[in-house]
């Protein structure tokens, strides 16, 4: 049989990568997801999926979805505002570059150290808590705030969500051409009309898509929440983490079902994201 040179080179280049991805990404994940439909002996069952419908699991998914959605929406709104503020040449190049670098740092500053930073700032003896109390007489914790709560978690997640939004949405915002604003002005539109009729529809798919990305980002996060709240906030990832570590009742197959539930949620998000991106790419090349 004749094998083309291109075929050989393709196999040599893509082969190892494909094998690796198969072994360490596709197989482990699919194997796990199949496990969600098996019992301990490998017999097919719906029991694990049914197990997801217990109040504690449902509550965990609910809290996870709330924290992720709220931090995604707020992060997307704030990040979009920052990106819009950086648009054009109204802001000096140096500041613009600094903001982008800081965004790169902050969006990667997640996990354990971020939790420490917020504990030291908004914890019971944190800097801002203390200053508000002693200088302004505002007692955050007496007024119901708690860093180790859903609100506190959202506030902490925003630290990486907002900068991530800036980085993800900046290209789309830069894609809004100065010519369009001038054309709109020439046609008699006010800046508000330009924003409403052109900028908003043009950016909408990218913004929604980016928000979905932020959602998935928060939904899968473990370290920040774990270091911040231990297990006092009932997130799916924390629940699964505890399951795997065997801290609580050890039931691997329920764990697989939890994993399946997570993949379904983030998978839906990403499918929506890809569709939106393809849609906006088609119109805005």
How far apart are alpha carbons 182 and 127 in whole angstroms?
A: 47
Q: Which candidate, 60, 269, 263, 255, places its Cα nearest to that of 150?
A: 60
The dihedral built from the CA positions of residue 254, 258, 259 and 261, taken in this order, carries a sign that is: positive
Give whole-number Cα distances, 30 to 22, 72, 200, 253, in Å: 10, 28, 39, 14
Burial (CB count <10 Å: 0-12, 13-18, 19+), residue 78? middle
CB proximity list for 53: less than 8 A, separation 6 or greater: none
| Three-class HEC string of 176-224 | CCHHHHHHHHHCCCCHHHHHHHHHHHHHHHHHHHHHHHHHHHHHCCCHH
Q: With respect to other proteins, which residue has the nearer C-beta, 18 or 50?
A: 18
Give the shortest CB-120-to-other proteins separation in angstroms. Answer: 4
Q: Which is nearer to other proteins, 50 or 120 (CB)?
A: 120
Indicate the residue among 121 and 149 with the shorter CB distance to other proteins: 121
Which residues make beta-bridge pairs with 38? Answer: 44
Considering the complex, state which of residue 50 and residue 81 has its C-beta at the smaller distance from other proteins: 81
Least CB distance from residue 69 to other proteins, whole Å?
16
Nearest by Cα to 203 from 75, 74, 70, 84: 84
CB of 185 to other proteins, least distance (A): 4
CB of 131 to other proteins, least distance (A): 9
For the bound state, the minimum distance from the C-beta of residue 50 to other proteins, rounded and expressed in Å, comes to: 20
- Smallest distance from the beta carbon of 32 to other proteins, in angstroms? 4
Partners of 44 in the β-ladder: 38
Q: Minimum distance from CB of 24 to other proteins (Å)?
A: 5
Nearer to other proteins, 54 or 88 (CB): 88
Tokens representing 212 are: 């979905």
Cβ distance to other proteins smaller for residue 39 or 201: 201
SS3 232: coil
């Amino acid at each position: 049989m004749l094998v083309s040179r291109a075929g050989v080179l393709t196999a040599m280049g893509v082969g190892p990568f494909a094998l690796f991805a198969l072994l360490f990404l596709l197989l482990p994940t699919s194997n796990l997801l199949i496990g969600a439909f098996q019992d301990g002996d490998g017999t097919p069952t719906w029991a694990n999926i049914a197990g997801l419908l217990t109040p504690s699991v449902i509550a965990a998914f609910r809290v996870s979805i709330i924290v992720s959605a709220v931090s995604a929406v707020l992060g997307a709104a704030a990040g979009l505002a920052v990106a819009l503020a950086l648009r054009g040449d109204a802001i000096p190049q140096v500041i613009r570059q600094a903001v982008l670098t800081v965004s790169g740092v902050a969006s990667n500053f997640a996990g354990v150290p971020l939790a420490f930073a917020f504990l030291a700032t908004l914890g019971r003896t944190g800097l801002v808590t203390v200053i508000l109390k002693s200088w302004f007489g505002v007692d955050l914790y007496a007024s119901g705030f708690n860093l180790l709560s859903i609100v506190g978690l959202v506030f902490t997640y925003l630290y990486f969500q907002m900068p991530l939004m800036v980085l993800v949405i900046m290209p789309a915002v830069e894609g809004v051409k100065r010519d369009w604003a001038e054309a709109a002005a020439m046609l008699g539109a006010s800046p508000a009309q330009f924003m409403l009729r052109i900028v908003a529809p043009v950016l909408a798919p990218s913004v929604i898509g980016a928000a979905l990305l932020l959602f998935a980002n928060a939904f899968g996060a473990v370290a920040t929440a774990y270091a911040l709240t231990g297990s006092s906030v009932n997130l799916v990832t924390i629940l699964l983490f505890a399951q795997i570590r065997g801290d609580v009742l050890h039931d691997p197959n329920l764990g697989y079902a939890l994993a399946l539930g997570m993949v379904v949620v983030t998978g839906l998000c990403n499918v929506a994201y890809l569709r939106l991106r393809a849609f906006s790419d088609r119109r805005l090349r």
